[in-house]
Amino acid sequence: MAPPTPVLPHLAIDFFAPAHEVAAALIGVELLVDGVGGRIVETEAYDRDDPASHSHRGPTLRNAAMFGPPGRAYVYRSYGIHWCLNVVCGPEGHGAGVLIRALAPTHGLARMRERRGLQDVRLLAAGPGRLGQALAIDPRLNGRPLDQPPFELRPRAGTEQVQIQTGPRIGITRAADVPWRFGEAASPFLSRPFPRR
DNA sequence: AGCACGATAGACT
DNA sequence: GTCTATCGTGCTT
């Protein structure tokens, strides 16, 4: 794993870029759903040419949104229980996405605490399933544009620098060594710490 | 059968 | 306090 790397500030997100670039670009961006959310601190990239990706075997009913226009949501059910949120990226039809794994809550904390049934702010959205519950992600949001309500994406300020860590993705068996997990270095809101090298 | 997960229980430092 | 193992849950292959 590489040491923390400074990332240049930017004002807009290019969703047509490759998944690993979008995944890094989304760190520090504020994500809200119906005004509830926070600052993205952890993402993972998935690509068509990637045996760990839902899109790897081509379009199906479940992953259809991944093959639609970039900048939209791909929502899927995980382990029969959780709803998880991805950002579709890459050229339209390419089948790439970025899993939003964790955020630092900034807006609507009371709402998130209700939905999660706990108080500890660090556990409200530290993991894709927890985030899904905290933001009330559900399949009605599948395919919806992320620049329109109920979504809101607020790119970080042009002057803001973010320290990004990378490492292996979590909870996968195939391509487990690919370092396509991205996180804000040392954030207390990560789903898990990054392994030391 | 196999999951892009999380809560819990139990062991250990 | 930390770490690890177990299992619920429903949908895809």
* Residue where the block lists tokens 């990637």: A50
Residue A169 has pLDDT above 60, yes or no: yes
Estimate in Å the CA A158 to C1' B4 gap, whole number.
31
What's the whole-number mean pLDDT along residues A175-180?
A: 92
Residue nearest to nucleotide C13 (CA to C1'): A57
Whether any strand C atom is under 7 angstroms from the Cβ of A148: the reply reads no
| Chain segment A75-87, per-residue pLDDT in tens | 999 999 999 999 9
Instruction: Name the pLDDT band for A6 (thresholds 50, 70, 90).
Output: low
Residue A38 has pLDDT above 50, yes or no: yes
Q: What is the structure's pLDDT at A195?
A: 87
| Chain segment A91-100, per-residue pLDDT in tens | 999 999 999 9
Cβ(A74)–Cβ(A48) below 8 Å:
no
Calculate the average pLDDT of chain A: 93
Q: How far is CA A140 from the centre of its chain?
A: 18
Which residues are bridge partners to A39 per DSSP?
A: A30, A104
What is the per-residue burial (b if ≥16 Cβ within 10 Å, else e) of A126-135?
bbbbbbbbbb
For the record, the structure tokens of A87 come out as 């950002």
Q: What is the structure's pLDDT at A40?
A: 98
Whether any strand B atom is under 7 angstroms from the Cβ of A17: the reply reads no
Q: How far is CA A138 from the centre of its chain?
A: 15
- Closest nucleotide to residue A82 (Cα to C1')? B5
Domains belonging to chain A, first-starting first, are 5-184 (3.10.300.10)
Estimate in Å the CA A68 to C1' C2 gap, whole number.
43
